[in-house]
Structure 1
Amino acid sequence: MTPKKRILLMLSAGVLLLIAAMSAMLSSSDDITNRFQPGRFDIVLEEPHWTPDHDSVVPNEELPKDPQVRNKGEVDAFVFVEVTVPYYDELITESLDGTGAAKLSLPVVKFVCSGKEPAFDSTATPAQTVSDGWLELSGSPSKDEENKTFTYTYAYVGADPDSMEAVPPEAVTGQLFDSIKFCNARESISDTEPFIENRSVNVMVSARGIQTEYLKSDSETETDPEKVWQVLNGLGDGT
C-alpha cells in the first residue's frame, strides 16, 4: 500500500468513528406539567339578627343572637361551632338548716331556641339547649377555672346525630340557637367574689370547618362527629 492510500484509509476510518460517536450522543426528552389549584376552603360565621348596640343588660333579659355558618368556599365542609360563656358560682343549700351547702358553677347566659324550653339557672345545671341538627360533643362544656368560663362544642349533623352533615358551597347551616338570656346570677358576697352585675360579660362564638373527603385515608373519609373533631384538632387520623 502506497503512503497516499494509507492516508486515505486513515481519513476514512476517522469519519466512521465520528459518525458512531455522534450516533451515541443523540438523545430525547419530553415533559408534561399539570397545574393543580386546590379548591378554596372558606367558612363564615353569621349572626343575622344580632345588633352590637347592647351596652348594658339586666337579669332575665333576652337578646337576639343566632349563630350560623355559611360555606363561602368551593368544596363541601364539615362544620363545628364553639361558644364560650362566663360562669358564676352559686351557693346551693341542700337542706333547710343550711347544711350540705356547696357552690355550683353555672353559665351567666343560657341559649334560647324557638319551640324548646330552655334550662335556665333555676335548674342548677350548666347544660344548654340548642336547635335540632346540632350535636354537643363529649367533654363539653370544658371548664376554664382561671378565666371562669365554659366552652361548649357542637357539630353540625343535620338529621342524623351519628354522622356529620356536609355543607355544600354557598349553603348555610341551621342556627345553633335563636337568642341568649342572661341569668339572674347570685354569688356570695365577699372581697374575692363580687356580684356578677359588676363584671363585663363576653360571649365568644367561633366556627371551625374541615374538608369532607379523605379524612381517613386516600380512599376513605370519616363522618363520625367525634372522630372528625379529633382530625380537625390534630388528635387523630380518622381511624
Structure 2
Amino acid sequence: MNVLKEITDKKRDDLISLKSTISINDLMKNVCTKEKPQFFRKLESSKSKYKIIPETKKSSPSAGQIVKIYDPVENALSYKKSGFSVLSVLTEQHYFGGDINDIGNIKSEVDVKILRKDFIVDEWQIYESKAFGADCILLISESLSLDEILDFSCIASDLNLDVLLEFHKESELEKVLRSELKLIGINNRNLETITTNINHCESLLNKYHKDLNPKKIIAESGFSSKLELDQYVDIGVNKFLIGEGLLKNTLF
C-alpha cells in the first residue's frame, strides 16, 4: 500500500468540495501579502546548537495517536517557553487529526512563525495557507511534478511565503535540485511505506556531497535523542524538524 498516494488522493477529493465552496478571491480578501517571509529567517537566527522546527500533531499513520489529550495551542506555548520561535503545524485532518484553524488559534496566543504541514497538491491550498496565517508551506517532491513545484513555489513567493521542499527517495534528487529552493528537507521516513531509517538523510548527503550542501538541509523524522542530532551536526547539518520526539518528551 502506498500511504502517500492514499493521502493525496483523499486530499484531491476533499478539494473538489472546498474549491466549490470558497474561491481564491474570497480566500484572499483582507489578506496582507506585503510582509517579507520570516519563517526561515527566524529558524536561522536561533543561537542553539540545534536549529529545530518543533512540530505539533495529534496522530500519524506511523505512530497512531501520539498524545492522549491534544491541545495545539498548549503545545505551541510550551515550545515557545522552551525558546523555539518557529513551529510546524499538521493541518491534515483524516490521517493526522489536524485542522487548518489550528494555525490561527496558535497565532492568537503565541508569537511564533508557522510552517503549514500538509499535503499540497493544488495551488488553492497555497492561498488557503496564506489566508489562515501560515508563514511557510511544505511541498512534498514525491507527490508533485517539477512543473508543479516551480509553479507552486512561484505562487508562494508572490504571497511572501517561505517554501520547504522535502523528499525521501533518491530518484527525486534531480527534481529537487532543479527547483533551486533555499532550504531542502530530507525525510528519514518513507511516506509511501511509513518506514523510518534515522541514517537515511546522512546516507544521501554522503553519496551526493557534491550536490547537497549540509547547511541547506533540514533533517526530518525519527529523532529521539541528542546523540542522533549530534550525529548530524558532525557532518554539518544543524537544522531539524522534530515531532514525536518532542511531543513524547524523549528528546530533551
The structure number with the bigger radius of gyration is 1
TM range (shorter): under 0.3
TM-score by length of structure 2 reads 0.20
TM-score by length of structure 1 reads 0.21
Higher-strand-fraction structure: 1
Higher-helix-fraction structure: 2
